[in-house]
Structure 1
């Protein structure tokens, strides 16, 4: 029976001799078994503590030799085994919780002398070097010839980079790395993303720069990435649009979408309240969504988009008077925050409600509205703004919706009044 963990050994005699306490914890393997050889020396269970510095390890007798087991923090992978002879404490940490519980139960049985009847003890042998080495947490691969084809990735990886490897798809072995926090698959040939990327519950950074992606799956937007993902790089791909559900990734801080084929940004982009760095240069955006005004950014780059000229006085009318019953009901559902979902409404109605437009007055509209574009100074949402064009501009057209003729008339009054005062639109 073996337990991989970190261990520090503290002698209880040191303080009385005026010596320092235990050193720092080292990566180790604790093994429970019988000593090599027969006779009296080989009887009874022993504990073998092996580290990378001393693989043959230190042997400790267990039978009637365990003074106490400290298990208050066992759910955190921590415990202490106090031995009588020698007078030492073995402080265990960073152990697998279930394995630690099993190991401590076996130690208790060994102390009681019931090892021969209850424990299948094997002869103790020193562990392999790979078992006591510190787990590998970072791996960088930057060429196809270095890519591991016949061996697995270390399960302890937290940072994996596999760039310039000509990968046509995400390697499913990567999706078994449950400790992964940063995954860099830039400069490959990946066309689609598996939904199982969302099973990487600790993933904070995902770099997919310079691939052949054409979409970002809705399933990823519903996955655990909603709570973990903070940085996403989708630049230099072939994405034309991101799904509306993309804005459920509300922990995003850095978002790069440069050099794609984007014709629009997610409609509810204002829900990305943590977003601080946004780059969407060299795409095909004609305007910005209305909720763009809700962002609070440190840096914004929209250079190289073919923005249209704002036309505040030439609206598109999609207003029915009187409003339909469906429109009234939909507006009331959103305005009064009435709960809804597929268990209550048809799925297509849920999608429509998720995409409800917001009027400057604060009320919502669904399919009946007045649409126009206004001029927006990008400094109102970002501290640092990269020029939108070569002419030095920092303004862009903003798509705006009005829920009624009254709201649009109020806007016109303000617009004409500001023009007459010489302040421009």
Structure 2
């Protein structure tokens, strides 16, 4: 059993993690010094995440997951006897992602990079690694374009936006249609979405997925995430009388939309978020009991079947110890899981970060679903996309976002509760 699949010895971790934590916390400063790259005793990897700027909240959350995975693995002996050192780069925007990727490759002799949370950031950073013959592993960005470019040394371990759309439609077909007592062909589904490239790309994928299940009454309604009043959008939605509303929102607009649905007393059969703002604790804190019953499709959350997610307890315990809080989203767990998979692949190369050796090992590596802390398995397709990373359906109940679908990952069955009630 690989370290990704097994639990960790907490006492051993606490004994050895101190130095690793200090090194990681100081990584931005350390990264400015000269680096010889990987050697006989040290495996040096580039880590690119936005911990400042507009993407800082979930960029930092993603980085936290990688930090925990690295310290746990170092406490367990590292990779093939080598200690892992992450050479960090803060990448708040596309231009910085490009320049920092070049700095890591040319100045720090980094052959393998990981990151990045944001799709545009990943596209920029991975382009540099790919065009210089190096390898890049994405742990959290969801755009289909990342792996559709077919760079032979760019890999993604997390599920994608298309997986999110597929789970939306699968949940409608397998649960909501029956719960609402309507065949799929008669359901009226409306997708409300913020109008940036993020929302537009999800809508396009959702339309294709809707056609696959015979969902013919599917409409989309865009809005600006910067708007301070969404009442006109809510009233149009009320007039359409949808059975199911799907929503693609950031943090502030998710709360605003929920409040205005509640305040206009709009009765919906079901409301399903698409990650983003609907996964954040701040959404439930702002809406209170009005959030009860809201579904959400996203990366694995911590309220999940523990037998399907071995090792999640170690992750949650370490997160709480370090930051005295619950994880802010599923991004930390997803990046934790992806980093552990990456380390297992590097174990197969003997801790050698040579891009060709790594790429060959990455394509050979396999894990079954239900054997990692996020419940994911691992098997690459011809585009270097992991086919066994999954999105799940969660539902808000009080302060908990509980996994309700699929059954093997669920902590309880889904409940059809009118969302945003007064």
Q: Tell me the TM-score normalized by structure 1.
A: 0.23
Q: Which structure has the larger Rg over C-alpha atoms?
A: 1
Greater strand share, 1 or 2?
1
Q: Tell me the TM-score normalized by structure 2.
A: 0.23
Greater helix share, 1 or 2?
2
Query: RCO higher in 1 or 2 (8 Å CA, sep ≥ 6)?
Result: 2
